[in-house]
Amino acid sequence: MPSDSLQRFHFRDSPVRGELCQLTQSYREVLARHDYPLPVQVLLGQAMAAVALMASMLKLEGSLILQIQGDGPLSLLVAESNERGELRAIARYDHEAVIAGDEWTALTGQGQLVLTIDPDEGQRYQGIVPLEGGSLAAALGHYFQQSEQLPTEFFLFADSQAAGGLMLQVLPGHDDGDDPDLWPRSVNLAGTLRAEEVLALSIEEVLYRLYHEESIELFSAHPLAFKCTCSRARSENALRSIDMDELRAIVREQGGFIEVDCQFCHQRYRFDSVDVEQLAHDALTGTDSLQ
């Protein structure tokens, strides 16, 4: 069974590169925390594969967050990865409304796809496009086109056990000596990929099946893993956005504490009235308790 990893490759002597990733354990850890119906599982898996592929291109330390917001049975999906390949994901949906066999359009309805790059240091960048195309892969291809980034194509797969994806990208630096047909050819070949190949074969085997007639250089594998980035400090930040008097009222109502429940991993952070007064004090004195 494939392990959780990502591998880059490039077509020799050409400006086309690619990445393939496979997720089993990390995907199962996400599924184990909620009772998702299969159509939602599949989209979560595809979204996890997509953020793993995109985050590995980040040229900075930080997170890449994919959000799907729609008016269909699936109202929100969030998948996040950082440059170290640490992944988490969650979905909100109407249990009654999701029907077996539902796919992209039936699940999401009309809405938007939001990509956020959240560097550990520096400013956030966010891009938004309407949900278009018949799949998450198509919507992401559309995103790259709209934001005038490098031509990029995604091929995403998931079932109830594993997820995986392939990304192809044209880099700047095309010259007349290059094979002009390589990009459309590599995309067309990738279009023949089947889920059972990506989810069951090794990355080397998948690449061999697709591109054995091309000259490919494969780089070393990067591990991927489930890891939630929640923390007590982040929960404090969430509490700071609530009005202090309202916060005190909640603490009183709940018998002396407030709990922040991480929806990604179910970790609970408990704050008692002393903690809440400390937050109020920090707000007054401008102390930033973030480490």
* Site membership for Zn ion, residue 90 (CB under 5 A): no
CB under 8 A, 24+ apart: contacts of 267-273: 267/228, 267/230, 269/230, 269/232, 269/235, 271/235, 271/236, 271/239, 273/248
Which C-beta is closer to Zn ion: that of 225 or that of 265?
265
Segment 157 to 196, residues that bind Zn ion, using CB under 5 A: none
Which C-beta is closer to Zn ion: that of 97 or that of 265?
265
Q: Which of 262, 269, 271, 279 binds Zn ion (CB under 5 A)?
A: 262
Q: Which of 20, 230, 247, 251 binds Zn ion (CB under 5 A)?
A: 230
Stretch that binds Zn ion, among 16-24, 106-114, 115-123, 226-234 (CB under 5 A): 226-234
* Site membership for Zn ion, residue 264 (CB under 5 A): yes
**CA nearest neighbour of 30 among 13, 12, 52, 15:** 52
Which C-beta is closer to Zn ion: that of 10 or that of 88?
88
Tokens of 159: 């079932």
Q: Which of 30, 228, 239, 276 binds Zn ion (CB under 5 A)?
A: 228
Question: DSSP string of 50-106?
Answer: HHHHHHTT-SSSEEEEEEEEESSSEEEEEEEEETT-EEEEEEEE-TTT--TT--HHH
Stretch that binds Zn ion, among 52-60, 233-241, 257-265, 277-285 (CB under 5 A): 257-265
Residue 268 has phi, psi (to 5 degrees) of -110, 135
Stretch that binds Zn ion, among 139-147, 170-178, 216-224, 265-273 (CB under 5 A): 265-273
Which C-beta is closer to Zn ion: that of 267 or that of 278?
267
**CA nearest neighbour of 42 among 53, 31, 57:** 31
Residue 65 has phi, psi (to 5 degrees) of -120, 125
* Site membership for Zn ion, residue 16 (CB under 5 A): no
* Site membership for Zn ion, residue 265 (CB under 5 A): yes
Paired with 169 in beta bridges are: 17, 152
Stretch that binds Zn ion, among 9-17, 208-216, 263-271, 281-289 (CB under 5 A): 263-271
d(CA 42, CA 104): 10
The residues binding Zn ion (CB under 5 A) are 228, 230, 262, 264-265, 267
